Amino acid sequence: MSDDIISYSSDKTHLSDKKGIVTSINTKDDLSAEIVSLRPNSFKEYIGQDDTVETLKIAIQAAKMRSESLDHILLHGPPGLGKTTISHIIANEMEKNLVVTSGPALEKGGDLIGILTNLGEGDIFFIDEIHRIPKIVEEFLYPAMEDFAVDFIFDKGIHARSHRYRLKQFVLIGATTRVGLLSSPLRDRFGLFRTLDFYSVEQLVIIIKRSAAILDTIISENGANELARRSRGTPRIANRLLKRVRDYSQVKSHGRVTRQSVQAALELEGIDGLGLTSLDRHYLKTIIDFYKGGPVGIEAIAATLQEETDTLVDVVEPFLLKIGMVLRTSSGRRASEKAYLHFKIKPSL
C-alpha cells in the first residue's frame, strides 16, 4: 500500500494530506469515498483493459528490477473507465505516495512548482484532465518531466537571472479525455501512452458481482447481466447504478437484486434498455427531429440542447459512437439507422 495520498484542491493555500481519501475539484464523482472503497487496490483484482494492465505490470516489474522509477505515463479515454484507479494501483504496486491534482486546479506556475518541490523520490504525481493545464503552467512541466528540475526566473530584461532547482525523480501520470488537445511537446514527454476502452458486458458483470459482494448485496446472475448491459460500458456507472438498484431492491423486493428490480429501478433513474440517459436521448432526438438526422455541427447541437460542447464531446458522444448510434462525418454528426430504430422512427432518407 502507498503511504499517503495527498490531494491539492483549487484552493492552493490549502494542502490536504489525508490517508486513503482523495478529493479534487474536478473529479468529485470519481473520487467520492464510496467509489474509492469499491476500487481495486491491485492489478490482481482489476478486471479488463488487459493490454494496458499487461504493459504497466511489465514496466513496473522492470523498474523494480533495475531499482529505477517508471517512465511518465499518459492515460487517455472517456470518463469512468479507470484512469484514476490505475494510478492508485501503480502507486500501491510501486509502494510510493500518490499526489493528485487536476489541470484546471493549476492556475499559475507557482501552483505546480509548490507540488513538484514537495514530491519525494519515486512519488506518483497524477494530473487529471491534463489537457486543461494553462500553457504558462505547462511550460514548467517540460524541464520537470525531462530533467527533474524547475527553473526559477528572477527579475526581468537584462537583469533576468535564472536558478535551476533540482527535483526528486517522480513519475507523472497524466489523464485526459481529449488527447488531441495536448500539445505535442507535452505528449512527446510521456514514455508510455495507453487508451482505455469501454468494458464488455461480461467484464462489467464480474465488476458488478465484486462490488455487490463488497456492499453485502445479493444479486442474481440475470440481475448482474441486466445492470451490466445498461452501464454504458463504464465501471463507474455500473457501481453508481448498483447502489441505486440496491436501494430500490431493499425497499421493494426483500433486498435481492434481480432482473426485475434492475429494470424497475433503472426506469426510475431514466436509464433505458441500452443504458442511454435522458441526455443521450435528447442528443440523438435533437439530431433526428431538429436537424433532420444531420449532418450537423457539434456547436449547433450544444446550442439547441443548452449544454456545454465539452460535455457532449467527452461524456455523451464516445459511447454513442462506440455503439453506432451516431456517425461523425467531415460535415458533422449524423444519426444512424440504429438510432432511428431505437426510437422506433422511420429514417427520413
List the beta bridge partners of residue 173: 73, 126
| Annotated catalytic residue 84 | yes
- Identify which of residues 70 and 89 has a Cβ nearer to ligand ADE in the complex: 89
- Identify which of residues 101 and 231 has a Cβ nearer to ligand ADE in the complex: 231
| Alpha-carbon distances, residue 177 vs 74, 131, 171, 196 (angstroms) | 11, 8, 20, 10
Contacts (Cβ under 8 Å, ≥6 apart) of 346? 340
* Cα angle for residues 120, 99, 62 (degrees, 5° grid): 65
| Annotated catalytic residue 176 | no
Which listed range, 32-40, 169-177, 273-281, 304-312, lies at the site for ligand ADE (CB under 6 A)? 32-40
Q: Which of 77, 235, 293, 318 binds ligand ADE (CB under 6 A)?
A: 235
What is the Cα gyration radius of the chain?
Answer: 22
3-state class percentages of the chain: helix first, strand second, coil last, to nearest 5: 50, 15, 35
| Annotated catalytic residue 281 | no
Among residues 52, 177, 217, 234, the one annotated as catalytic is 177
| Alpha-carbon distances, residue 170 vs 47, 135, 345 (angstroms) | 27, 21, 55
- Per CB under 6 A, 243 contacts ligand ADE: no
- Per CB under 6 A, 22 contacts ligand ADE: no
CA distance 111 to 286: 41
- Per CB under 6 A, 38 contacts ligand ADE: yes
CB of 84 to ligand ADE, least distance (A): 10
In the window 251-290, what residues touch ligand ADE (CB under 6 A)? none
CA distance 346 to 146: 56
CA distance 1 to 94: 9
Which listed range, 45-53, 121-129, 240-248, 289-297, lies at the site for ligand ADE (CB under 6 A)? 45-53
- Identify which of residues 38 and 171 has a Cβ nearer to ligand ADE in the complex: 38
- Per CB under 6 A, 85 contacts ligand ADE: yes
Binding string to ligand ADE for residues 210 to 229, with x set by CB under 6 A, is what? x-------------------
Contacts (Cβ under 8 Å, ≥6 apart) of 177? 76, 77, 78, 79, 129, 131, 314
- Identify which of residues 213 and 268 has a Cβ nearer to ligand ADE in the complex: 213
Binding site for ligand ADE (CB under 6 A): 38-40, 45-48, 82, 85, 207, 210, 235, 239
Could you list the active site residues?
A: 83-84, 128, 177, 236
